[in-house]
Structure 1
Amino acid sequence: MYLRNPIALATLSLSIVAALPAAAQSSTEAPDLRGDRVTIGAGVASLPDYEGSDDSQIAPLGVVIGQVSGIEFWTRGTDLYVDLIPDAPGPGTHFEAGPIAGVNLNRTGKVDDPQVAALGKLDTAVEVGGFVGISRQGVLTSDYDRLSARIAVTADVAGAHDSYVVSPQVAYSTPLSRQTYVSLNLSADYVGKGYGRTYYDVTPAGSAASGLSPYAVAGSGFKSVTAGLFGIQSLSGDLLHGLGLGAGVAYTRILGDYADSPIVADAGSADQWLAAVGLSYTF
């Protein structure tokens, strides 16, 4: 099961995080967003069997987002982000920076494709690092829409791929009402040589076992780009409190040497579609 860090797995988290300021829409007095709050979510996602697979499977999805004493935190796929820079609520420019910790579960479990399965299971990568970002609230439609840009850098510390991932991310989010919020997200992954060699190479021994042609990624480079559209609908009438329904879809295109790997070109596909739906509760 492919559960590294695709945007589709972040459907609920990105939607809910973006939705928090939206409750002020159509209200005469903006709420105080400086207080502690926590959102939890659970759902299901349809996602590729592995990174580059043309088979899909249904997987559970869990999300936690919150703010405690001005420190915000959220999950994005299997990564946890913690923003250590408190920001005042309301329109204006906001900055963020903090640590990231997560796991990469690509090809660590059951793989349906018999050729890729014959290459063997991989170890779980433990990826840690940090991020910096900037956002502007109050851009086009109201005081509550937001345009943000972020760059995240993580490295494997468990020796699974023994490399790094750099992920630039851009998002635009806007409220449609006090109950509805939508978000458009774009991101890319630039990976080191070790990442490509681990997940996209076919060694001579692997070729003999799987029937796939031998292949070696030349070096580091942009592995993929992703675009996603997500939304959340409050079921309790207020995005800041109670039950919500989140859903979204994302498309990922695997690029360059990574798309040319037989693991993708012969056994899978460079076109990756992901979808998710779930319920959230904010208190």
Structure 2
Amino acid sequence: MRVALPILLAGGAVLSSTSANAQSAPPDNGPHGIVAIGAGVVPEYDGAEDLRAIPFVQADLHWGDINLEIRGLRVRADLASDPRLSIGPVIGARLPRSDVDGAVGLLPEIDTAIEAGGFIGYRFGGDESGQGSLAMELSVVHDVSGVHDGLLATASASYAAVRRDDFFLSLDAQTTWVNQDYARTYFGVTPADSAASGLAAYSPGSGIKDVGVGVTAGYWFSERFGVTGRVGANYLVGDIADSPVTEDGRRWQPSGGLSIAYRF
């Protein structure tokens, strides 16, 4: 996350990985960027064993000094004019947990949550194309819809291993801390819920939710069209891993996606 339509792309670094190879800005610094549409798979819910298919929509849009990034159901704006610094607001949706099979399906359903906050990041090193650079980022979001009232903080790092005109490859890692409100909404089991589902009562606290790694790659067939893909996995830890919700599912949370990209 991720996290949402689930931010299938950890750390938000899929199309941003292509930025160094994107179309040059037009002379009037008008709108330009990359849009990618495809399909992916993510866990059915946080801690689930089963996967589900999702649409895979991404975009990096640039206009003047403002960069707008879309990652599934999460949108953010980079307002920094410094090419190495990124900072700005973020808003996104976390999909509901509903129509679930098994014991978890007997727990109360969870509505779609809207989360908003901000992020800050910095890119170190790298050549003119960005190859060899290391990007560090911290994002913090809070539920503003009253669904889980929780706070999530995600620290991530992305390494630009290859940057060529026709091919790119990035490696990333991330970890997310959650507060008690989030943990108990998605991974807690009240005594009443225990009686209804057969799962043991459980009340997790705040702490590190998961750690994850991912690989993103892309190839440009022409000046404007290409394909980009990603595979990754998060591993649930701490109180989240000990939850009956996780024990009914699994700690490994894999995800992946493939999309056709267009740059303009």
Pairwise same-fold verdict (TM > 0.5):
yes
Secondary structure of the structure 2 residue equivalent to 1:4 = coil
Q: Distance in 2 between matches of 1:65 and 1:17?
A: 7
Shift of 1:254: 0.4
State the match for 2:258 in structure 1. 277
State the match for 1:125 in structure 2. 113
Quick check: 1:183 aligned with 2:173?
no
In the alignment, is the contact (CA less than 8 A) between 2:20 and 2:163 conserved in 1?
no
Quick check: 1:116 aligned with 2:104?
yes
Q: Distance in 1 between matches of 2:72 and 2:110?
A: 19
Cα pair distance change 1:278/1:67, threshold 3 Å: same
In the alignment, is the contact (CA less than 8 A) between 2:122 and 2:137 conserved in 1?
yes
Secondary structure of the structure 2 residue equivalent to 1:206 = helix
Secondary structure of the structure 2 residue equivalent to 1:205 = helix
The correspondence for 1:51, drawn from 22, 46, 52, is 46
Q: Distance in 2 between matches of 1:76 and 1:226?
A: 17
The correspondence for 1:167, drawn from 150, 154, 158, is 154
State the match for 2:235 in structure 1. 253
**Unaligned stretches of 5+ in structure 1?**
25-30, 89-93
Aligned AA (1:65): D
Q: Distance in 2 between matches of 1:143 and 1:136?
A: 13
In the alignment, is the contact (CA less than 8 A) between 2:6 and 2:94 conserved in 1?
no
State the match for 1:62 in structure 2. 57
Quick check: 1:227 aligned with 2:213?
yes
Q: Distance in 1 between matches of 2:58 and 2:21?
A: 19
Q: Distance in 2 between matches of 1:58 and 1:5?
A: 10
- 4+ aligned runs moved over 4 Å, structure 1: 31-34
In the alignment, is the contact (CA less than 8 A) between 1:48 and 1:57 conserved in 2?
yes
Shift of 1:212: 0.9
Q: Distance in 2 between matches of 1:47 and 1:208?
A: 29
Please give the root-mean-square deviation of Cα atoms over the aligned residues, in Å: 2.1
**Unaligned stretches of 5+ in structure 2?**
none
TM-score by length of 2: 0.91
Quick check: 1:84 aligned with 2:84?
no
Shift of 1:137: 4.5
Shift of 1:38: 2.8
Aligned AA (2:246): V
Cα pair distance change 1:136/1:70, threshold 3 Å: same
Aligned AA (1:234): W
Shift of 1:33: 8.0
Secondary structure of the structure 2 residue equivalent to 1:258 = helix
Secondary structure of the structure 2 residue equivalent to 1:214 = coil
Cα pair distance change 1:176/1:75, threshold 3 Å: same
Count, aligned residues: 259
Aligned AA (2:212): T
Aligned AA (1:191): V
In the alignment, is the contact (CA less than 8 A) between 1:163 and 1:191 conserved in 2?
yes
List aligned pairs for 1:189-268, cutoff 5 A.
189-217=176-204, 219-236=205-222, 238=223, 242-265=224-247, 267-268=248-249
